[in-house]
Amino acid sequence: MFLRSLGVALALGLRLSAQQVCQPVPIYSPCDIVFELNDQEAAAHPNPYVSVDLKAEIRSPRARTVLMSAFWAGGRKMVIRFAPIDPGTWDFKITGNIERFNGKLGQATATESADGGFLLPANVHHWMTGETRKAHLWMGDTRLDFAIEPQAGFDAYVEARASQKFTHVRGLVLQPDAFTAPDRPNHAYFEQLDRRVASLNGKGIFTDLILARDAAAFSKLFDGWQSRERFLRYAISRYAAFHITWQLLGEFESGADSRALLKEVGGLVLKHDPYKHPRATGTIASSGPLLPDAWQNFVVHHSSDDAIGAIEHQVHPAPFVNTGFSEAATPPDEFRRRLWRATMNGQYPQAVIPAPDSPNAKAMADWFGFMAGNRYWELEPYFDIDGARAVALPGVEYIVYIEKWGTVEILIEKHGYDVFWMNVSTGEVTKEKKDFKNEKWVGEPPSKTGEWVLRLSREGRKEGMLRSYKFESRPNLMQEIEQNPAKMPWDFLEPASDRLSIAKPPKHAVKVKRETRGTRSMFYLWTGEVPTESQGYRVLSTGAEGTLKLPANLARNFPAVFNLRLYALNAVGKVYAMDKVYRLTE
């Protein structure tokens, strides 16, 4: 039984026969306080999931307080599960509607641990763990059915991903057998999910919990705000003590009222999760439209289109995780290209790799081995370059992805740099014998075949920086987006009419006014929204020309006022934004 694996054995100081608390546990590990209802209490609460309300106010030796609710754990058991974040003795007080426990006091003990702690966004676009401010390299896989697959397959999968250095696995919470009825969670199912989350955590892997596939699936099971809040408090009480992130829906765009639902659900997660684990939602393109609602603190992308990742990285001050660059059927060569393009966009990768020994898993492992040796938590897209794409911490480290063979020029701060080459197809890294010192690096990859990654790095400087207590070495500032129509480097050609129809998707097109260093390459991102519908924007297209894909649920009342926004990112990293207003019909 999983509760025993957590060490539930020690009676509380008050020696209540129906109450138990975990033995001393390392910090950032789950500790269970267990309650057993007696005959009278069980008769009064035939469905404890619905009617029993028990909470613990738990205080650390540093006077930091965690408030946790109990969850129903099958039969007559209720469990308050928390993770101590400070070593020493934690005092707690129970309150609730079971009079026998109301007002009772107890203690739990936590020991020191090498665990880095729970995950937090850091340095605008990056991650760190706990109060140790240790950088976290997010590299994830998606295993939607991890909660229900056969045990042997799950065990083999976890061992493989741990050996390949994956740090995240993303999967579904609400499978078809998770609830026997809307207010009847299947405890055996959730107990197995407990064990599997704990198993992943035990290998150093965070579990990214997707509550439901989409808004329709969530609302079908929980059709009122009371049942939704009840489930969310149950899920938070059960899993917040683990190393997790919340990714609320598999995708949100298909539901006309998804934004309102996510604002409610995300707000409840933010309210009730005492550890404030990272929060976002899955998407078919970008979860960026939901950032103004304040519950979300990182952005999920699901696209291999560089324009979305490259532009939104410059627009939104949040970390980015891309779940869509790596569909399961992607050939290895294309998979590697998508992986490194996503890196140059400033995104962290979350793949879909069913086979434990896939060549795509090896490509991820090679990526992790390379990036772990860099100051990845300070790297940002870098634009003083021709012939390739780059991320950099200027003056310290430059990572250059060369997808096609040719001459590369990159302007750098004048210092002495060690020069490394990585053959992307093999993962092999070699170091040039001589270091490099100049203000411009010009050269070609070692071979005309395959893709290459160049690293110019001040290794000695980096070693010194690691001794600093500071997480970041310099401010990471967002740019001011140019919105003056007179300064747009293009002529807007289409849509030319002031009326648009969902039934007849319109063409879009712009034309660069003149060739300059900035306009020699451009990314374009077309988004649109109906402001009165309060659904947020949708990604409609990319590129200089094409067809706008207008979702059928963009509006419910027609005709509607439709706002089209065009973002552009030029070759030197400048972002432009232009808005056009149209009349939208069905």
Q: In this predicted structure, what is the pLDDT of residue 263?
A: 97
The structural domains of the chain, ordered by start, are 2-111 (2.60.40.10), 119-369 (3.20.20.80), 382-466 (2.60.40), 485-585 (2.60.40.10)
Distance CA 517, CA 462 (A): 32
Q: In this predicted structure, what is the pLDDT of residue 240?
A: 98
pLDDT at 11 over 90: no
Q: In this predicted structure, what is the pLDDT of residue 261?
A: 97
Measuring CA to CA, which residue among 79, 57, 55, 81 is closest to residue 69? 55
pLDDT at 5 over 50: no
pLDDT at 435 over 70: yes
Mean pLDDT across 150-161: 97
Least confident segment among 121-130, 256-265, 327-336, 381-390 = 327-336
Give residue 310's pLDDT band: very low, low, confident or very high (50, 70, 90): very high
Distance CA 296, CA 402 (A): 34
Mean pLDDT across 268-276: 97
pLDDT at 16 over 70: no
Give residue 131's pLDDT band: very low, low, confident or very high (50, 70, 90): confident
Segment 457-474, tens digit of pLDDT: 999 999 999 998 889 999
Segment 21-75, tens digit of pLDDT: 999 999 999 999 999 999 999 999 999 999 999 999 999 999 999 999 999 999 9
Tokens of 20: 């138990």
Distance CA 526, CA 549 (A): 10
pLDDT at 206 over 70: yes
Half-sphere exposure (Cβ direction) of 13: Cα atoms closer than 13 Å: 11
The SS3 of residue 307 is helix
Distance CA 492, CA 488 (A): 9
φ/ψ (deg, to 5) at 330: -65, 125
User: ∠235-237-242 over CA atoms, to 5°?
Assistant: 90
Share of the chain above pLDDT 90, in %: 92
Distance CA 74, CA 582 (A): 56
DSSP per-residue codes, 344-381: HTTPEEEE---STT-HHHHHHHHHHHHHTTS-GGG-EE
Mean pLDDT computed over every residue of the chain: 94
Q: In this predicted structure, what is the pLDDT of residue 351?
A: 94
Distance CA 416, CA 412 (A): 10
User: ∠572-575-579 over CA atoms, to 5°?
Assistant: 150
Give residue 328's pLDDT band: very low, low, confident or very high (50, 70, 90): low
pLDDT at 344 over 50: yes
192-to-60, 166, 314, 481 alpha-carbon distances in Å? 30, 22, 41, 48
Tokens of 377: 């938590």
Interior/surface letters 366-387, b for 16+ CB within 10 angstroms, e for the rest? bbbebbeebbbbbbbbbbbbeb
pLDDT at 412 over 60: yes
Measuring CA to CA, which residue among 285, 253, 300 is closest to residue 525? 285
Q: In this predicted structure, what is the pLDDT of residue 9?
A: 33
Give residue 307's pLDDT band: very low, low, confident or very high (50, 70, 90): very high
Let me know if 394 is exposed, middle or buried by CB neighbors in 10 A (0-12, 13-18, 19+): middle
